A and B are shown apart, each in its own frame.
Chain A
Amino acid sequence: MNSVFYLKRWSLYISKHWNENKKKYLLSLGAIGGLLILWYSFLMMVNGDHPISGEIQVITYYVGLFLTGCLYASLIFSDLSDGPKGIQYLLLPASILEKLLTALLFGVILYFICYTVIYYVVDFPMVQLSNSILKTVAEQENKTPYPAEKVANVFVSWKDGDNIFIYFLLAYFAAQSIFLLGSVYFVRFQYIKTLVSGLVVFLILVFFVHKVLGLFMPQGGFFQPFTAYRVFDETKGSLSIKLPEWLSSMLIFLIKYSLAPYLWVVTYFRLKEKEV
């Protein structure tokens, strides 16, 4: 039997996890669905023209995903800060990798799928309802009805040959992995503490780039978004310094796709050294 990963043991762990938490998970998804219905109903009441436009749908999807997904991630390992639950969690005979993979399966993959399904289960009838109400109102008032809204595709939006929603999703998974790590690191108030710590790190980074690096760099600024530097010279004019293409591509690839997996690895090691 492998002490790092053993499929049969992992499937047992998943089954145990699901059976102990299914009630909580199903209620949470129901609550998200209920909140979405309330939100759309509120929009229909206050906005008589385009209550559920495509733009509103996309904003609703992503704001909801970021808020609830990060909140959920910050609670995934909260048992570790509760002595008795932490003891039960750590002493259950499964490896740390199996426990982490279960957390990622439920917290990252299944949560994302379920949230999206719940979103569309609510979004589709609410958009139809909104269209039908607007049409009825326009008929009653003898007005030309507004064009009916369509159910938005929250995954595809092409701009300059790039699907910009992919960046939203990548940012979401990166943010969620930060909150996942925060749930292991912090003993209490994981969500708030992770949020504050994340902001502090971000501000330090911005300060470092603008103020500290600025002392050593010639007058100018980063662009594209950080793989090139434009130097402003009063005599020679503007001059661009770019990283080699391969290095630039590799850096962008790493930032886009490796941040979340990297933080999962950090979470793994943090879990290994966790004491109760």
Chain B
Amino acid sequence: MIQIQNLHFGYRKKKIFTGLSLQLEAGHIYGLLGKNGTGKSTLLKNMAGLLFPKQGTVNVLGFTPGKRQPAFLQDIFMVPEEFHLPDVPIEYLVKYHAPFYPKFNEDQFNRYITEFDIPRSTTLQKMSYGQKKKVLISFGLACNTSVLLMDEPTNGLDIMSKSQFRKVIAGGLDENKCIVISTHQVKDLESLIDRVTIIDEGRILFDQTVDNITRRLSFHISFDSDEIKQALYREPSLRGSAVITRNTQGDESKMDLELLYKAIVLNGNAIQSVFNA
């Protein structure tokens, strides 16, 4: 669905990607993680055709995104971190924007709006940032595009909205869609994504499915000093130490995305060795 080959990109003197390759398939929610300034948003913009690769190829749904052909644009939707919505009521958004997306489903949109508890009586510009973002997320999901790109979608959402967001996104995925969520708020996506891709210094540092991660790694709290010493990653917590160890017993543990992220950034080789074995 999305193939990126040997992507080189930079802003003037600052190089962001120097040969990044990545392949994303339909039916998955990808979590794109990384520090600030590592190129998460830039990668999404390259996928959407808002930025053009300096070298290498980006292929999305069989199109070259940079050509911005209408057939491509009507099958991809992006929820940027900073976005603009026109100063019109929600009904206008449906009436004048939705016709550009052939798979738009108005019932679905209304359901999301109700679920997110968005007032319909006001225009979009008079809504709070969080409300506007929820309208955009609802609209993006209701467009039923094959590719949905989201850049820091949970920024500005309150606790209840984050939970609604996870529910709505999980319900909006099907085998024909590919959802890519870029974020540094890893906790918000923990239960949502099924593949973790971590970018650092313009390259893919880690790229594994959640199934694979939980099959090979164990996330738990340990009081055993030997286990803590031998852990792939450890972090003191109020109750013992939070550790990541090899999952040798075949136990199922819940992935702690924040812990995994820190482990990969700080002790990437040890973690990678588990997957390379």
Name A residues whose Cβ lies closer than 8 Å to a Cβ of B.
Answer: 1, 3, 6, 9, 12-13, 15-16, 19-20, 23, 82-88, 90-96, 272-273, 275-276
Chain A residues in 8 Å Cβ range of B70:
1, 3, 6, 9, 93-95
Q: Report the Cα distance A93→B68, complex, angstroms.
A: 8
Instruction: Flag whether B175 is at the interface (Cβ < 8 A).
Output: no
Q: A91-B48, A276-B51 are in contact. List 20 more A-B contacts (CB 8 A).
A: A3-B69, A3-B70, A9-B100, A16-B97, A20-B86, A20-B88, A23-B87, A83-B80, A84-B82, A87-B48, A87-B50, A87-B78, A90-B68, A91-B76, A92-B100, A93-B73, A93-B100, A273-B52, A275-B50, A275-B51
Q: Is the CB of B84 within 8 A of A276?
A: no
Chain A residues in 8 Å Cβ range of B74:
93
Between A and B, 26 residue pairs with Cβ closer than 8 Å are: A3-B69, A9-B70, A9-B100, A12-B96, A12-B100, A16-B100, A19-B92, A19-B95, A20-B86, A23-B87, A84-B83, A87-B84, A88-B83, A90-B50, A90-B68, A91-B76, A92-B97, A92-B100, A93-B100, A94-B73, A94-B100, A95-B69, A272-B68, A275-B52, A276-B45, A276-B50
Q: Report the Cα distance A13→B97, complex, angstroms.
A: 9
Nearest-neighbor residue (CB-CB) of A273 within chain B: B52
Name B residues whose Cβ lies closer than 8 Å to a Cβ of A.
Answer: 45, 48-52, 68-71, 73-74, 76-78, 80, 82-88, 92, 95-97, 99-101
Q: Report the Cα distance A276→B87, complex, angstroms.
A: 22
Nearest-neighbor residue (CB-CB) of B95 within chain A: A19
Chain B residues in 8 Å Cβ range of A88:
83-85
Given A6-B70, A276-B51, also A84-B100 (CB < 8 A): no
Q: Is the CB of B71 within 8 A of A85?
A: no
Chain A residues in 8 Å Cβ range of B101:
93
Chain A residues in 8 Å Cβ range of B87:
20, 23
Q: Report the Cα distance A92→B50, complex, angstroms.
A: 12
Q: Report the Cα distance A48→B259, complex, angstroms.
A: 83
Q: Report the Cα distance A12→B101, complex, angstroms.
A: 11
Chain B residues in 8 Å Cβ range of A13:
100
Q: Is the CB of B84 within 8 A of A82?
A: yes
Q: Is the CB of A3 within 8 A of B71?
A: yes
Q: Report the Cα distance A96→B67, complex, angstroms.
A: 10
Given A93-B73, A95-B70, A275-B51, also A87-B80 (CB < 8 A): yes
Q: Report the Cα distance A192→B102, complex, angstroms.
A: 41
Chain B residues in 8 Å Cβ range of A85:
84
Q: Is the CB of B68 within 8 A of A96?
A: yes
CB of B204 to closest CB in A, whole Å? 23
Chain A residues in 8 Å Cβ range of B78:
87, 91
Q: Report the Cα distance A19→B93, complex, angstroms.
A: 10
CB of A183 to closest CB in B, whole Å? 17
Chain B residues in 8 Å Cβ range of A16:
96-97, 100
Q: Which of B48, B68, B78, B92 has the most CB of A within 10 A?
A: B68
CB of B51 to closest CB in A, whole Å? 5
Q: Is the CB of B88 within 8 A of A19?
A: yes
Chain B residues in 8 Å Cβ range of A15:
96
Chain B residues in 8 Å Cβ range of A275:
50-52
Nearest-neighbor residue (CB-CB) of A95 within chain B: B70
Q: Report the Cα distance A12→B71, complex, angstroms.
A: 15
Nearest-neighbor residue (CB-CB) of A23 within chain B: B87
Q: Kindly identify which residue among A1, A23, A86, A276 contacts B71, using a CB–CB cutoff of 8 Å.
A: A1
Chain A residues in 8 Å Cβ range of B71:
1, 3
Chain B residues in 8 Å Cβ range of A84:
80, 82-84
Chain A residues in 8 Å Cβ range of B82:
83-84
Nearest-neighbor residue (CB-CB) of B75 within chain A: A93
Chain B residues in 8 Å Cβ range of A6:
70
Chain A residues in 8 Å Cβ range of B52:
273, 275
CB of A202 to closest CB in B, whole Å? 30
Nearest-neighbor residue (CB-CB) of B51 within chain A: A275
CB of A164 to closest CB in B, whole Å? 43
